[in-house]
Homo-oligomer: A and B are copies of this chain.
Amino acid sequence: VSDSLPLVGLMLGDCTGIGPEQSAKILASRGMADTARLLVIGDRRVLELGARDAGVKLDVRVVKRPEDADWNSTAVQMIDLANIDPASIKRGAISPESGRITGETLKFMIDLALEGRLDGIVFAPLNKAALHAGGWKYNDEHIMFARLTGHQGFHGEMNVLDDKWMSRVTSHVGLREALDQITPKRIDEALTLAYETMKGAGFANPRIAVAALNPHGGENGLFGREEIDVIAPAVVRGAGRGILCKGPFPADTVFIKGFGDEFDGVLTMYHDQGQIATKLKGFNRGVTVSGGLKTVFTTPAHGTAFDIVGKGVASTGAFENAIRLGARLAAARKAKVAAAGSYANANL
């Protein structure tokens, strides 16, 4: 594994779910060896449980610090936090204890990343209810990550499917509150964030379709004026900043455009607008990105899949895509840090 590859922390996900099995399968295949230097961080017993589920053998080399990893070795490099014994946890069900430890492990990894010692974090499926029950009481993991990274300002979930990027102006709030949040400033921030993140993922000049809010895009003001007063001017401002954005397009056709050849992604106004479309398109194959934070976070879009835990049948495609995308974003981040001379100077 080349030292020039980004150093990505691999988190096994909630140990009650399919994450450990998926992680073990991917690590055993060594299919990511050309993509990233993957450092597993978590409890070794959880990884070993995953290897048994997957029916694979893993050669694990435990290290104390990221700097101690041996990237010439073919062994799995791992920091063993020894913080949860999976034998003590019922699998395939929500566990507050597992949720609590999952959050602790993520916090440990985030602290390493903020010290510039990991270039990014990729995690297997979390369980939001378990995190909540375990004391990590945030509306979503993106807000949790923002808090743990000390982030101020706009950030947000993005969903990537077949290399198409769905971003949001508003997310995990009631629809009434979302309407109040759709302000010029917030659309500007969301558009810029989509643009910058997609550039980090490798688009030279991402083409973004902006969704309307009201039916038929407001039908010239007959069905609401947000398009005229708020969204269209934001698209004009975005184009003025050099972003290849167009719209607003009526929400019921913007995804047909977005999944076509004309655009690389869609900026949506609210959660279900994008999620109805991406879930119908096969959301579970996709990748979720926490955009705009001080480190890179990617994860497969699917969940802990409690119904198939321990059966050895979990597929790994979405998780592999998450690792690839996380590595791309982390490499861009690493290059920025190198150019700035230090992590602190990079102003991430």
Chain A interface residues (CB < 8 Å from chain B) = 139, 171-177, 179, 213-216, 218-219, 222-226, 250-253, 255-256, 270-273, 275-281, 283
CB distance from A276 to the nearest CB of B (A): 5
Which chain B residues border A251 with CB–CB below 8 Å? Answer: 272, 275-276
For the residues of A in contact with B, the DSSP-based class is helix
Contact A280 B279 (CB under 8 A): no
Which chain B residues border A275 with CB–CB below 8 Å? Answer: 215, 251-252
The distance in angstroms between the C-alpha atoms of A279 and B215, with both chains bound, is 13
Which chain B residues border A225 with CB–CB below 8 Å? Answer: 174
Which chain B residues border A283 with CB–CB below 8 Å? Answer: 252
> Which residue of the partner chain B has the closest CB to A180?
B176
Contact B277 A172 (CB under 8 A): no
The distance in angstroms between the C-alpha atoms of A172 and B217, with both chains bound, is 11
User: Could you name 18 residue pairs across A and B whose Cβ atoms are closer than 8 Å?
Assistant: A171-B215, A173-B215, A173-B223, A174-B214, A174-B225, A174-B226, A175-B179, A176-B224, A215-B272, A251-B275, A251-B276, A252-B271, A252-B272, A252-B275, A252-B278, A252-B279, A273-B276, A276-B277
The distance in angstroms between the C-alpha atoms of A347 and B272, with both chains bound, is 39
Which chain B residues border A173 with CB–CB below 8 Å? Answer: 215, 223-224
Task: Kindly identify which residue among B172, B214, B222 contacts A219, using a CB–CB cutoff of 8 Å.
Answer: B172
Contact A172 B215 (CB under 8 A): yes
> Which residue of the partner chain B has the closest CB to A280?
B280
Contact B174 A218 (CB under 8 A): yes
New contact pairs (10) apart from A174-B223, A174-B226, CB-CB < 8 Å = A139-B222, A172-B223, A175-B175, A215-B270, A215-B271, A250-B272, A251-B276, A256-B279, A273-B276, A277-B280
Which chain B residues border A226 with CB–CB below 8 Å? Answer: 174
Contact A216 B175 (CB under 8 A): no
CB distance from A178 to the nearest CB of B (A): 8
Contact B253 A216 (CB under 8 A): no
Contact B177 A224 (CB under 8 A): yes
Which chain B residues border A276 with CB–CB below 8 Å? Answer: 251-252, 255, 273, 276-277
Task: Kindly identify which residue among B172, B219, B256 contacts A280, using a CB–CB cutoff of 8 Å.
Answer: B256
Q: Which 9 A-B pairs have the closest CB atoms?
A: A174-B224, A252-B275, A215-B271, A251-B272, A252-B279, A276-B276, A174-B214, A174-B223, A252-B276
Contact A172 B216 (CB under 8 A): yes
Contact B179 A176 (CB under 8 A): yes
